[in-house]
Structure 1
Amino acid sequence: MVGAGILVGGGRRSLDRRRMQQQIWRRERWLVALGIALHAVYMLSIFDIYFKTPIVHGMDPVPQRFTAPAKRLVLFVADGLRADKFFEPDSEGRFRAPFLRSVILEKGRWGVSHARPPTESRPGHVAIIAGFYEDPSAVTKGWKANPVEFDSVFNRSRHTFAFGSPDIIPIFCSGMPHSTWGSYPHELENFASDASFLDQWSFDQFHSLLNRSYDDPKLRELIMQDNLVIFLHLLGCDTNGHAHRPFSSIYLNNVKVVDQIAENVYNLVESYFKDKKTAYIFTADHGMSDKGSHGDGHPTNTDTPLVAWGAGVMSPKGRHSYQPDFGVHFVDDHKHDMPTPKEWGLDNIERVDVNQADIAPLMATLVGLPCPVNSVGNLPLAYLQLNKAEEVEAALANTKQILNQFLRKSQIKKLNSLRFKPFKPLTNYSFILSQIEDFISARDYEAAMKSSKNLRTLSLSGIHYFQTYDWFMLMSTVTLGYVGWMINLLLHVLQSYTILSTNSFMKKNQVVPHGSMKKKVYIAGCLLMGLISFILLVENSPLLYHAYVLMCVFLWTRIFSDIHLLKVIWGLLRNRHFKANLNLLAISAVAFFILEVLVCSFFERKLYTWCFLVVGAVAAVLMSSFVPQRPLIAAFVWACCWFLSLFTLMPAEIPDNTNLVIVSGAFVILVALTSIWFIVSGENDNFRQLITQLERDKSKFPLLLFIQILLVGLSSLMVWLSTSHRAEEKELHVVHQIVNWFTAGISIILPLFSKPALLSRLTSIFLGFAPPFLLLSIGYEAIFYSAFALVLMGWILVECATLYFTEIKVTPVIVNLEDNLISSHGEGSLNLSHIRIPLTFMVLFNVAFFGTGNFASIASFEISSVYRFITIFSPFLMAALLIFKLFIPFMLVICVFSALTKLLHLPLLGCYFLVILFSDVMTVHFFFLVRNTGSWMEIGNSISHFGIMSAQVVFILLLFALTNIYTKDIEVSSLHSLSRKKI
């Protein structure tokens, strides 16, 4: 009977445990889904807070009140052409763009056009042609489809002829009836060849158009109209910059090609029309970084050339000695203070810098078109050859067009706000306008110009005011939402993975949920949600506003519904010894300090060098203390950390070094052989058994690992063959491409068939991802892969030494349950000391990104990394390969992290939630660092940092799911179990 009672009691406890686990799993599924939704929604909040779309409808264009100086406009956009490579001479002292340089010296005006992040082709062209900075929602459509309709110079023209890239031309012309356009197929964009022929294609199409017009009266009549725009998109520099870098002879020769095309078009147009009524604009949408990428706010990406000449454009002017060579300082605090380099040889010619959006009103004024209604560009009068009266009229038209945007935004906000707060500096705008008209009538042009510029500046400030009208409300809501999410996460970890999760503790502390109280809290939360939703509906707020607020209210409702748990936690804190609370506070402070160091590392990656120098020494000391009989292991850990510390001192622009990639393959094999030797040989002692998780008499040289080593050798050989052949033939050999794909594909599958023992499986994973990483590497990042793996091995050794010390040298009871809020309570529980695991993971996860020279920006990828797999332009496949390469070190970290949680008998999801909690502490910090003023580089980086940390939650979750395929069957045993098996 007693035995039966014990069995019944044991069965009930087992049933209760299973029910509790099922409840936890249900909560975790909802929590993970909630976390993904929250980070996706709140990541978009940045655009609503700081960068709301400038597009509004319902405004009338402002026509010019003077005769246009030009009948037609020719716009050249050399995609990816950076300013310094255009203006500077070559090694022999000859300038690469002789025709355009002669224009600067003799016929027109010049300057640097400053693009704004993201420095990509679509937003750059939108800024040039439409005069505003891209709607952030276009990110979700790959910069290709129009997320919203917008006005442009092309729209306002009588007819537009456009030829160029299939990624750009259709954006502006596909839905425009008064346009004639053409684009080449994507297949011509081959990164393995010289892409300057793409520029020649655009010229040939235009040349053919003019030739056909001699035999086609209708076409000739169309071409001879006023208000005509001709657009030639020249993609060669962008493609060659990605493929060969902007220092290559192919890229620099492409600068000569676009100069020659500009000269040919100029001669062709002047001989065709013969009326001297054509204006010409030459510029670029973005530049190109030294590593062959673009996207961020670095000056090599934002600084592009601008040359204007022809009808209506002022002739060159000498720069007086007293004039500061700082270009022009425009609105929104983006100062362009780069002095003209001496080697450009243009010190004596006046330089006029512009913001990229300023080019649209310049083109519209030259050809007599209304400025695009959503343009925020300032008309650069220094480029125009106009008399005083015309200058004032042009400036006033630009001012009225920007003022109309302000008035429309003010009207929309007033109609939809319960409590409207107007922009006070412009309450008397009508009086200012009438005053300007009076000045013009009295021919007081200086006063009229001054008043017009002041009104335009105020209008731009007013537009910014209404774009950030809801700033305080949104900042407060999102911040409270993040805090609510983190508290929910912490409560879940405490309730599911610590002493608070046990039935005995719940009964002892009478932690019994009050159903009636929960209902009341949820009813109150629903009423609050309904009230806020009603207010937002009345104000016609965007749907995302509802999502921000409702998510915040929901999270805090969940917190207050668990008020009983909060009371228990508070009671535990009050009843604990002062020393225990001090210990908790100290560990929290250390964790916060580490997270702040990680935040700082986004701005200064060299911090990781100091970090690993210190960590290496500390880890070696710990190893010497825990396992004094193995000094070589302590020295190994120290050496690995110090070796890895070198990589964050290396340049972010990874230089090409194929030989280094090939040598790194041998290094990978050496690391793997060392691991295999550790598995199959050596003394059969307890510490080695703990690391390998293998029984000595069953160990043998694994055949699968030998096959993987051969694949690593094959990938090194293919790196040499593919690169050598492409350098000679300028194309990727089909056989090489097939072998590369096969090697990479089969190698990442093989780890699934390796032994499930801890070190064997991790070594197989390391070897499995080495071939694709080597094939996607171009320089020192290939060595980083092995160095990083060695540090991960060092992490395993330190944790095994800690476990060995606590299980054998001390006592199985690690933590006093009464002295810790987060206490160990059997298998699957967490204690304060376990916080080191997710914190170490956070450090290594960030090192996996920064260690290969990647800055936290959207331009952190080397597109040349994919040329051993594909060279024909395919943005989605190329992006997938780049992201896969970036994820490989992340996957190594997560595999080791998952294996350690098994070895230490810790709940993987509990540790994952702590990782997310720490990530969100950093996310909130970056949320407050986002800015929309200052240099464009600072703006771009601040957005990138916040976006990376917000996306990290989803990335880590996806990587956990992926790496779980490799680590789910890893078998681990305690040291005592291994000893018993051995006996």
Structure 2
Amino acid sequence: MKMITFLLVGLIVHVIFFVSIFDIYFTSPLVHGMTPQTTPLAPPASRLVLVVADGLRADSLFTPLPDGSSRAPYLRNVMEERGTWGVSHTRVPTESRPGHVALIAGFYEDVSAVAKGWKENPVEFDSVFNESRHTWCWGSPDILPMFAKGASGDHVYTHTYPAAEEDFASTDASRLDSWVFTQVKSFFQSAKSNSSLRASLLEDQNILFLHLLGIDTNGHAHRPMSKEYLDNIGLVDTGVADLVSMVEDFFDHDGRTAYVFTSDHGMTNWGSHGAGHPSETLTPLVAWGAGVKNAQKVTAAQPYNDGFLQDWKLEHLQRVDVNQADIAPLMASLIGVPFPVNSVGVLPLLYLNNSDQFKAESIYTNAIQVLEQYKMKMAQKKETTLSFLFTPYQLLTESKQAEFFHKARILIQLEKYDDFISLCRSLISNALEGLVYYHTYDRFFLGCSVVLGFVGWTSYVVLVILKTHASLDRHPSLLNQNRSHTLARLCICVTVVITVFLLIQRSPVTYYIYCLLPVPVWYSVLKEYRTLTDLVHSAPSLPLWKCLGYLVLVAFGIELLVVSFFHRAMLTVGLAVLSLWPFLSGLFGKAKFRSVSWCLGCLCLAAFPLMPVVGREPNIHLVTCAGVLSLFTSACYLWSALQKAPLHLTDRQQFITQMLHVAVCAYVPSLTHSSLQQKQGLPLLNQIISWTTLASSMLVPLLSSTRIFHRLLSIFLSLTATYLLLSTGSEALFPPVLSWLMFVWINIEQEAMLAQGVSGRQELSTIDFSANIDITKIRQLKLDDIRRSYFFVFFIITAFFGTGNIASINSFDPASVYCFLTVFNPFIMGGLMMWKVIIPFIIVMCTFETIQVATQLSSRSLFLIVLVISDLMALHFFFLVQDYGSWLDIGTSISHYVIVMSMTIFLMLLSVVTHILTSQRLILWRKRKTHFP
């Protein structure tokens, strides 16, 4: 009962620590209640056409063909004759939703959306579509609905194709773009006969939005250098040319239409996106039409040293780069709608073809719009902070704001527009910095509270371990009881003071949790005063050098694991060091063959962290080789088991069946890959085999014997079959190599126990998972068990990052799930990839379960050691969490903390699953007894 209570308390504490970073670092920076700001002068355009070619790289559009011609001749002509062009610099994550939010709403995806998911609108925000009079959209069902549902009123109209059309195995995904262009053509044809629709189109401040997903889908399916991807660019170029002609004809060439062509993100050479590679963050921007400056010839060197201008043969044209969020104020300025109130973009004046007065008034509107956000944020923070504790942002105090308006008034009267524009840009910069200042105002206070709770909890767990396994005085004296009562009164007083302080500041409920949690945690630590003093008194009798050596090694090992999150090669270093363990510990003399096997297994596994995370080309032949290696490993495993104990007929039949199944699953990816290359789609039989294998992967092992060798072999074969179906290359070799090392680990731990003279050692062949361990044989922890726990944590981290499946946000290859489905479905695809990541976890967990049973270890005590190790890592990562810089930096810092914090919770749940997987057995049929009269 005490163990269950402790686990529940530990679970709650870790959930609080886990959630805390979202309150400290990732709350929404958006504020509401600002007044929309509009430029008072008449806009140059009545309508705007926005075309977003999803997944289009800048170099793919701008680089000419070998013969000097362009694969997008119409857009090339626009750039050279009648428009302004440049590169739109996106931010990580280079995904469709955050890219479109930046383009249309003017701010980079709210980081609080990480906690809520990127479905529709996790936070309310304004957009150019919302501010328009009417917006008509055509394209993907994944993008369009979020802007329609986020708009006030009913003036954003969406036209989408079925989600099933987004099929990576289709003969040519460019049909998605053809569908959009066809629908737009039908729309204008119907507007000629529909008077109400025509009247709406003839109004000003309208937007037409075309979302073209074909290029992105072809890039995922065939790679950006493929004929399908490049031909799709030509199709889009032709479609844009026809679109412009159609729009101009409908509006009688009134010269009041502005056009913006861009992309939400690029794509890597291996067909993925999400991270910060230049191929993902450099996207094209071409603008032309009403209010846009014509192409400008340049003679001097341009201020861009990235080397692309020469490759693109565009060094003679003025290039105007922007940040992706700058496009939203550009579109708002062109058609005269209010700037999106949450926009952080800066109007790119070099795109505007208008008077200096219009440019000055537009950038002034931009500055006031950002300043409104700042003033609202400051007011909110001032209301919830005690006046004597409130410290305003010094660069933009009320006096500084008044000074700005005074200078601005003088400059605009003197018509010094260049100075006026420079002043407005300075205000925008200060206002954006001020927004960050007030958004992070309480961060230090909350961070200290969480760290205090973290340290207290870890100290308490260490005390629990010492009380359980050290010969210390566990009987509280009267003096100790009196001290405990005094400590309790002190804690109550501290709780009252903190609560009153938070009440006065009108703090959120979560603040109470983070600030009050350290009180009971430290009370639990300090009331063990007697245990602490006994530990100090008994220190001289302890093997201090040995204890100190273990602590130094564990500290070094924890830091190695922390560094491995940033540099996967450190896992290789760690495995190389672990390979020497039998030689350094003296086990080599007692178990030469197993020691050599351990060394070779560590060195073979060490090769995987050195392999590239991203950019790997599919190599189905390696998947087939992995299947052969798995069968060979299984045969060796089976031979070893037969040396110890004979197999029953049913077990022998099951293993033969499972090995044949692995052989089939090793061939299915090759057959699927061949079929997709020939554009024949996913074979139905392959799909049936894949889903059946997945569904039965956790049930088939339950049919085998619960003897250690038999059950582990069945688990390995079942999980390997699924892993092969989810593999595209070298990562398929990871499970058999990991399983080999885990098998050696089980055997060598038996030798380590024998070397330590631990009584009650059992032969592995005689151990049955289903047999209850005699509680009287559960031994006390020894220093060597810290090493076992660290090995477990190390192998869990290696299982997670070993093949780089999710070490980088853009390492996911859709080809990994093609044996199961080819139609785009983020939830099913994400679920399959998560299962692929979990499979190595289960292999390690089953191994640790075996070691625990075989070495008579207390699962509670081992868990506490693992808890301390993971909490120390989590505390380290807590200090590394950040919400500034690129999205790659932000995502990396939060993912590291989440991974380690989730580890303990996840391992608790996974340990239950692996316990069932190893110890339970399903009996589908029983032999009927024969009764004789």
* TM-score, length of structure 1 as denominator length: 0.87
SS in 1 for 2:328: helix
The structural deviation recorded for 1:279 is 1.2
Q: How does 1:664-683 map to 2 (within 5 A)?
A: 664-681=626-643
Alpha-carbon separation, structure 1, partners of 2:604 and 2:761: 35
Q: 1:80 and 1:563, CA in 2 relative to 1: closer, same or farther beyond 3 A? A: farther
Q: Does 1:627 align with 2:627?
A: no
Describe the superposition over 1:257-310 as per-residue Cα deviations: whole angstroms up to 9, x where unpaired: 333332222222122221121111122222333443333334333332222222
Describe the superposition over 1:835-879 as per-residue Cα deviations: whole angstroms up to 9, x where unpaired: 111211222112212221335344343332111111222222111
Q: Does 1:226 align with 2:204?
A: yes
Report the more deviating stretch, 874-883 or 941-950.
Answer: 941-950
Query: Is contact 2:180-2:212 (8 Å) kept?
Result: yes
Query: Is contact 1:623-1:633 (8 Å) kept?
Result: no
Describe the superposition over 1:334-367 as per-residue Cα deviations: whole angstroms up to 9, x where unpaired: xxxx442632222333322222211111111111
Q: Does 1:155 align with 2:155?
A: no
Query: Is contact 2:45-2:291 (8 Å) kept?
Result: yes
Q: 1:636 aligns with which of 591, 597, 613?
A: 597
Q: Percent identity?
A: 38
Output the amino acid matched with 2:178: Q
Query: Is contact 2:330-2:348 (8 Å) kept?
Result: yes
Show the counterpart of 2:862: 911
Q: 2:267 aligns with which of 288, 311, 314?
A: 288
Q: Does 1:199 align with 2:177?
A: yes
Q: Does 1:459 align with 2:431?
A: yes
Alpha-carbon separation, structure 1, partners of 2:258 and 2:508: 42
Report the more deviating stretch, 165-174 or 619-628.
Answer: 619-628
Alpha-carbon separation, structure 2, partners of 1:663 and 1:652: 20
Q: How does 1:525-924 map to 2 (within 5 A)?
A: 525-573=491-539, 575-577=540-542, 580-619=543-582, 625-628=588-591, 631-653=592-614, 654-681=616-643, 694-695=644-645, 702-807=652-757, 827-854=778-805, 856-924=807-875
Q: 2:257 aligns with which of 278, 281, 290?
A: 278
Q: Does 1:137 align with 2:97?
A: no
Size of the aligned set, in residue pairs, is 900
Query: Is contact 1:108-1:307 (8 Å) kept?
Result: yes
Alpha-carbon separation, structure 1, partners of 2:640 and 2:27: 58
SS in 1 for 2:293: coil
Q: 2:296 aligns with which of 302, 317, 326?
A: 317
Output the amino acid matched with 2:548: L
Query: Is contact 1:866-1:878 (8 Å) kept?
Result: yes
Output the amino acid matched with 2:832: L
Query: Is contact 1:856-1:948 (8 Å) kept?
Result: no
Query: Is contact 1:518-1:561 (8 Å) kept?
Result: yes
Q: 1:425 aligns with which of 395, 400, 406?
A: 395
The structural deviation recorded for 1:903 is 1.3
Q: 1:422 and 1:465, CA in 2 relative to 1: closer, same or farther beyond 3 A? A: same
Q: 1:723 and 1:610, CA in 2 relative to 1: closer, same or farther beyond 3 A? A: same
Structure 2 gaps, min length 5: 763-774, 922-933
Report the more deviating stretch, 402-411 or 796-805.
Answer: 796-805
Output the amino acid matched with 1:188: E
Structure 1 gaps, min length 5: 1-21, 327-337, 682-693, 813-823, 971-983
Q: 1:452 and 1:26, CA in 2 relative to 1: closer, same or farther beyond 3 A? A: closer
Q: Does 1:188 align with 2:139?
A: no
Alpha-carbon separation, structure 2, partners of 1:522 and 1:374: 48
Show the counterpart of 2:94: 119
Alpha-carbon separation, structure 2, partners of 1:786 and 1:321: 60
Q: 2:233 aligns with which of 248, 255, 275?
A: 255
Q: Does 1:241 align with 2:219?
A: yes
Report the more deviating stretch, 785-794 or 462-471.
Answer: 785-794
Over 6 Å off, 4+ runs: 696-701, 808-812
Query: Is contact 1:803-1:904 (8 Å) kept?
Result: yes
* TM-score, length of structure 2 as denominator length: 0.91
Q: 1:808 and 1:595, CA in 2 relative to 1: closer, same or farther beyond 3 A? A: closer
SS in 1 for 2:271: coil
Alpha-carbon separation, structure 1, partners of 2:604 and 2:390: 61
Alpha-carbon separation, structure 1, partners of 2:488 and 2:807: 40
Show the counterpart of 2:928: none
The structural deviation recorded for 1:742 is 1.4
Report the more deviating stretch, 699-708 or 872-881.
Answer: 699-708
Output the amino acid matched with 2:609: T
Q: Does 1:366 align with 2:343?
A: no
Query: Is contact 1:298-1:937 (8 Å) kept?
Result: no
Q: 2:421 aligns with which of 449, 467, 478?
A: 449
Alpha-carbon separation, structure 1, partners of 2:324 and 2:460: 45
Alpha-carbon separation, structure 1, partners of 2:278 and 2:881: 19
The structural deviation recorded for 1:880 is 0.9
Show the counterpart of 1:10: none
Alpha-carbon separation, structure 2, partners of 1:512 and 1:915: 35
The structural deviation recorded for 1:436 is 0.7
Alpha-carbon separation, structure 1, partners of 2:478 and 2:346: 66
The structural deviation recorded for 1:621 is 6.2
The structural deviation recorded for 1:185 is 1.9
Q: 1:390 and 1:39, CA in 2 relative to 1: closer, same or farther beyond 3 A? A: same
Output the amino acid matched with 1:663: C
Output the amino acid matched with 1:483: V
Alpha-carbon separation, structure 2, partners of 1:171 and 1:364: 19
SS in 1 for 2:626: helix
Query: Is contact 2:87-2:321 (8 Å) kept?
Result: yes
Show the counterpart of 2:771: none
Query: Is contact 1:676-1:701 (8 Å) kept?
Result: no
SS in 2 for 1:111: strand
Output the amino acid matched with 1:710: L
Query: Is contact 2:805-2:837 (8 Å) kept?
Result: no
Alpha-carbon separation, structure 1, partners of 2:297 and 2:521: 64
Alpha-carbon separation, structure 2, partners of 1:158 and 1:697: 77
Q: 1:729 and 1:857, CA in 2 relative to 1: closer, same or farther beyond 3 A? A: closer
The structural deviation recorded for 1:696 is 6.9
Output the amino acid matched with 2:655: L
Show the counterpart of 1:107: 82
Alpha-carbon separation, structure 1, partners of 2:109 and 2:337: 22
The structural deviation recorded for 1:112 is 2.1
Output the amino acid matched with 1:226: D
The structural deviation recorded for 1:622 is 5.0
Alpha-carbon separation, structure 1, partners of 2:612 and 2:556: 27
Query: Is contact 1:83-1:112 (8 Å) kept?
Result: yes
Query: Is contact 1:41-1:548 (8 Å) kept?
Result: no
Q: 1:96 and 1:798, CA in 2 relative to 1: closer, same or farther beyond 3 A? A: farther
Q: 1:545 and 1:298, CA in 2 relative to 1: closer, same or farther beyond 3 A? A: farther
Q: 1:868 and 1:944, CA in 2 relative to 1: closer, same or farther beyond 3 A? A: same
